[in-house]
Structure 1
């Protein structure tokens, strides 16, 4: 099944999408988690779209999930961004399973049973991201690990059941290891109520404090050397994370373009007596937005397809993935900026949906890979490493 033949309404029906859209403004205004959205998405089976059918899911691939996330983001970007983080882990489980590694089977069966998985990788000041961690991972006698540290931007903070994270095990100073594991929500986990942001407010991506919370041995899934690493879990996280992030911001752009088109078709100029859609300057700007947007869904589909197909892009994989996310965010911000201009002064009011999209799209620049990292990855591929 390709994105061209895939029917997203089977998994995200129009009526469900419109109910989610109808709640988005109030969720943003109240700065709360969209619990009704999550409940309805749960009921529809959306949180198990990437789980294989033999484990209780729908058996979709990353290519189809990307289409669905674009569609969900067009209704409620913050809801889509928060759900992204659960889908990342179910996607990583699929990527690894497709490559013969079934270490995350419990994520698949857990998601099918209704559990919510959150993503605990980001740390303040840690620009190594997947290649390092300031969180301490202390080995336990039974094979588990105790984690102590602080994670930021933990989407789904009020509702998750399991937090997938990484930490650094320095018990052997000569051979440190990055440990990937899943911890439960216990008294050793403190979720700060500190999510008061400009946009993406419904994601409730709060700060998470870890105070020796233990991941049991059967939830410790990978131990790898710090630094750039081709390990399947690193590739799995990076590929699914970047593709689904690109999808959310591309969905925002599509909604902004649709709103801009509807607005200029309805607004009438007193000077010309015609709608603004007949104004040559506005027509040029709409066309420019459409040209910018049009490339991204196809790029997302191609790269997601290659992840699903276990294609070998060799050293270019990280360039392709970081570039995809970077281009999607830059494009989306450009489209939303221009949508505000063509819609006119009414878009400046908070009651206007475009004003929320304008705030939401700004978050894209802060997600990995940031512009500096994307450009560094591209330069390293094309020019080689910087000489010492």
Structure 2
């Protein structure tokens, strides 16, 4: 049995170049164009595309490992690339299950196109199950979308935006429409991304004013609300697993930095390395115990998606749960790493300071803590009685 080698797709020298640029993009609030260019050249944008369509043919389990590795160098770059990988991952979910409709995503990714994720809307806690964006049918079988999307990562560079909107005018309305639009004058990207952390994602607000998707790029029309359609499972599964991967990668980097600091620092009082201090050892052990739980969980769920395991109604609790645990674990580990490193980590030039700010973004991605707990409660206790 062959062993997966992450360095074949993310070589050490590429990772180090990305790591060196990360503080610059954070400080200057700029998108990491060089990172994207180098990752594209390395074939990273098509790791989830089948070999026969020009990609690497990796599974979600391997992509999750790679995203953890990339996040150790530049969390914001990893999070931005995540959104492209979500769509190529959904395309893989489709093709693995014999569902047509997203082959153009696979072909586009293999050709170097960048796919962005345009689902989030201000105040829309329905997320995948509803939309405030108007989807109006056009005469050619396509749709025109009007509305506002928030947190559109890859905003300066995407070539196609995958999004959803609500069709309220067709004979079978209402229908949620999932489609892809190109960058035209009908799509306006704001310049409003000035945030505490994850600054290099450049997840700006996107305003749509009749942005058109032709019939070939209208992927799904489904009923609003919870739905077993492959588009819902595909997005939710790939999104949650890859998000968990990025934040688990942040935790790994914080843990490694804490270990390095403990080995290098010495007590003025005793002359002994901090790595021999019982309190520091306990703190790092606590970080390690928390971190070690997540990579196997991510790997197991990703393999289930790859192998088409039927977890039935448990899927949503399992997926929202692994994302929630990754976020809470990662924040805890970074908190502990800051304490191990001492006051120097409080300076903005310190890498841990950036990790501390970056990790805070995790709580704002779906599923948020409230949604994750509600899903888990329903899984174990059943729905709330009306």
TM range (shorter): over 0.9
Equivalenced residue count is 386
Partner of 2:43: 45
Cα shift readout 1:307-355 (whole Å, capped 9, x = no counterpart): 0000000000000000000000000000000000010000000111000
Cα shift readout 1:34-62 (whole Å, capped 9, x = no counterpart): 00000000110000000000000000000
Partner of 2:342: 344
**1:105 to 2:117 alignment:** no
**1:82 to 2:80 alignment:** yes
* Aligned mates of 2:140, 2:28 — CA distance in 1: 45
Structure 1 residue 173: deviation in Å? 7.7
Alignment of 1:24-63 (within 5 A): 24-63=22-61
Which of 167, 171, 175 is residue 177 of structure 1 equivalent to?
A: 175
Partner of 1:258: 256
Which of 233, 236, 239 is residue 237 of structure 2 equivalent to?
A: 239
Partner of 1:382: 380
Q: Work out whether residues 317 and 379 of structure 2, in 8 Å CA contact, stay in contact via their aligned partners in 1.
A: yes
* Aligned mates of 2:100, 2:34 — CA distance in 1: 33
Structure 1 residue 272: deviation in Å? 1.8
Alignment of 1:253-332 (within 5 A): 253-332=251-330
* Aligned mates of 2:19, 2:214 — CA distance in 1: 39
Which of 186, 189, 193 is residue 188 of structure 1 equivalent to?
A: 186
TM-score (norm 1): 0.98
Structure 1 residue 172: deviation in Å? 4.2
Cα shift readout 1:247-306 (whole Å, capped 9, x = no counterpart): 000000000000000001100001121011111011000000000000100000000000
**1:211 to 2:209 alignment:** yes
Structure 1 residue 142: deviation in Å? 1.2
RMSD (Å), alpha carbons? 0.9
Q: What's the secondary structure of 2:345's corresponding residue?
A: helix
* Aligned mates of 2:354, 2:10 — CA distance in 1: 22
* Aligned mates of 1:39, 1:201 — CA distance in 2: 18
* Aligned mates of 2:349, 2:302 — CA distance in 1: 35
Partner of 2:352: 354
Which of 367, 370, 374 is residue 369 of structure 1 equivalent to?
A: 367
Structure 1 residue 175: deviation in Å? 3.3
* Aligned mates of 2:381, 2:88 — CA distance in 1: 35
**1:93 to 2:91 alignment:** yes
* Aligned mates of 1:379, 1:183 — CA distance in 2: 37
Q: Work out whether residues 198 and 357 of structure 2, in 8 Å CA contact, stay in contact via their aligned partners in 1.
A: yes
Alignment of 1:210-229 (within 5 A): 210-229=208-227
Structure 1 residue 174: deviation in Å? 6.7
* Aligned mates of 1:324, 1:199 — CA distance in 2: 22
Q: Work out whether residues 117 and 161 of structure 2, in 8 Å CA contact, stay in contact via their aligned partners in 1.
A: yes
Q: What's the secondary structure of 1:102's corresponding residue?
A: coil
* Aligned mates of 2:212, 2:271 — CA distance in 1: 69
Q: What's the secondary structure of 1:297's corresponding residue?
A: helix
* Aligned mates of 1:215, 1:270 — CA distance in 2: 66
Q: What's the secondary structure of 1:222's corresponding residue?
A: strand
Moved more, 165-174 or 11-20: 165-174
Structure 1 residue 141: deviation in Å? 1.3
Which consecutive segments of 4 or more residues in structure 1 shift more than 2 A? 172-175
* Aligned mates of 1:175, 1:76 — CA distance in 2: 43
* Aligned mates of 1:164, 1:221 — CA distance in 2: 9
Q: What's the secondary structure of 1:178's corresponding residue?
A: strand
Q: Work out whether residues 137 and 170 of structure 2, in 8 Å CA contact, stay in contact via their aligned partners in 1.
A: no
* Aligned mates of 1:366, 1:194 — CA distance in 2: 17
Partner of 1:69: 67
